[in-house]
């Protein structure tokens, strides 16, 4: 029995060929002959995959064997789409729907989109799980398609058979855009605060920001004295010199505009965002306390 399937694609032909060779090794190891050939047809390259059963070496019927062969091909198609086409599809969506972003911002969006799709920042078990989920959905679509067809063009298959997958990519792109816009707004906010700090005369040489175990901030001067509420011109009035709002803390620091800011809390705690903002606004004026009696006392 000889049966053949054609895979057409305008891109990543060599990657498809390599994947096919990897997939058919299992069949070849079981005594089947698999012949691969290619031909050009316009902008597409078609890879022909033919399986030959040289003498009934399996209990499968010819029809069952051909269906099994199609499953191998569908697996190749799904892997190529997720691992090779996906970044191209994302960049195409960004270009079509968000043309007003700069090239650098578009590339930033592409990377953010991939991170959202994989729900992580690097190669990990979780990333593989999310990729396998998308691949599984594409695999089932490819199997269904190949059950009725002996030829598949990946470009058209993506455009006409993977609408849900493309919608998933579009949703991830939209999430990336939302994040980028928030980052831009945050950066503008930081630049404005930096300007306020630069134009103000420092009202104190050094100030220490201490986070109490209760989650409330307190400000101390270089001598270890608590900064009084009236000195902050109403920012902390009525709070008994305790600052329990992160934005209020940043406002107070900008008002004082100290030459040096020492933070007595660590990056692992719940106020990491405030710490990052303070660092961004005050730059090299900021120092992190490695641990002192004040830190230990306030955590009790």
Tell how far CA 255 is from the center of its chain.
37
pLDDT at 130 over 80: no
Q: What is the pTM of this model?
A: 0.80
Rounded Cα–Cα distance for residues 41 and 77 (Å) = 19
Q: Which residues partner with 206 through β-bridges?
A: 260
- The full set of domain ranges for the chain reads 2-189, 204-298
Strands 44-52, 242-243: pairing is unpaired
Q: What is the pLDDT of residues 6-28, one digit of tens each?
A: 999 999 999 999 999 988 887 77
CA angle 243, 248, 250 (to 5 degrees): 110
pLDDT at 237 over 50: no
Rounded Cα–Cα distance for residues 72 and 30 (Å) = 14
- Whether residue 94 contacts residue 68, with contact meaning beta carbons closer than 8 Å, is answered with no
Indicate the pLDDT class of residue 62, thresholds 50, 70 and 90.
confident
Strands 2-9, 151-153: pairing is parallel
Q: Which one-letter DSSP state was computed for residue 43?
A: T
Please provide the DSSP assignment of 208-275 as one string: EEEE-TTS-EEEEETTSPBPPGGGGTTTTTTTTTEE--HHHHHHHHHHH--SEEEEES-TTSTTHHHH
pLDDT of residue 267: 57
- Whether residue 152 contacts residue 142, with contact meaning beta carbons closer than 8 Å, is answered with yes
Element at 3 (helix H, strand E): strand 2-9
For residues 156-180, give the mean pLDDT. 97
CATH classification code of 204-298: 3.30.420
- Whether residue 120 contacts residue 128, with contact meaning beta carbons closer than 8 Å, is answered with no
Show Cβ contacts of residue 83 under 8 Å, excluding neighbours closer than 6 positions. Answer: 131
Rounded Cα–Cα distance for residues 257 and 197 (Å) = 6
pLDDT at 287 over 90: yes
**Dihedral over Cα of 106, 109, 110, 111: its sign:** positive
Q: What is the pLDDT of residues 185-229, one digit of tens each?
A: 999 999 999 999 999 899 999 999 987 777 778 899 999 888 875
Rounded Cα–Cα distance for residues 143 and 192 (Å) = 56
């Amino acid at each position: 029995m000889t049966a053949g399937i054609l895979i057409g694609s305008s891109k990543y032909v060599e990657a498809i060929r390599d994947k096919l060779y990897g997939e058919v090794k299992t069949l070849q190891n079981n005594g089947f002959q698999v012949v691969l050939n290619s031909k050009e047809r316009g902008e597409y390259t078609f890879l022909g995959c033919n399986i030959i059963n040289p003498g009934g070496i399996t209990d499968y019927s010819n029809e069952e064997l051909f269906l099994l062969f199609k499953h191998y091909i569908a697996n190749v198609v799904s892997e190529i789409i997720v691992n090779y086409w996906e970044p191209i599809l994302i960049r195409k969506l960004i270009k079509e729907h968000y043309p007003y972003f700069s090239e650098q911002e578009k590339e930033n969006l592409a990377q953010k989109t991939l991170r959202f799709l994989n729900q992580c920042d690097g190669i990990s078990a979780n990333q593989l799980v999310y990729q396998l989920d998308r691949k599984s959905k594409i695999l089932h679509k490819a199997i269904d398609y190949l059950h009725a067809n002996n030829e598949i063009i990946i470009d058209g298959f993506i455009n006409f058979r993977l609408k849900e997958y493309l919608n998933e990519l579009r949703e991830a792109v939209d999430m990336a855009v939302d994040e980028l816009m928030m980052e831009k707004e945050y950066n503008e906010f930081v630049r404005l605060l930096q300007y306020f700090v630069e134009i103000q005369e420092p009202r104190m040489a050094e100030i220490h920001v201490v986070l109490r175990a209760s989650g409330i901030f307190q400000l101390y001067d270089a001598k270890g004295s608590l900064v009084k509420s009236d000195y902050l011109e109403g920012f902390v009035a009525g709070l008994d010199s305790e600052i329990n709002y992160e934005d209020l803390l940043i406002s107070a620091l900008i008002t004082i505009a100290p030459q040096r800011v020492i933070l007595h809390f660590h990056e692992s705690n719940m106020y990491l965002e405030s710490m990052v903002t303070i660092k961004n606004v005050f730059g090299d004026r900021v120092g992190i306390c490695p641990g002192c009696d004040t830190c230990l006392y306030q955590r009790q």
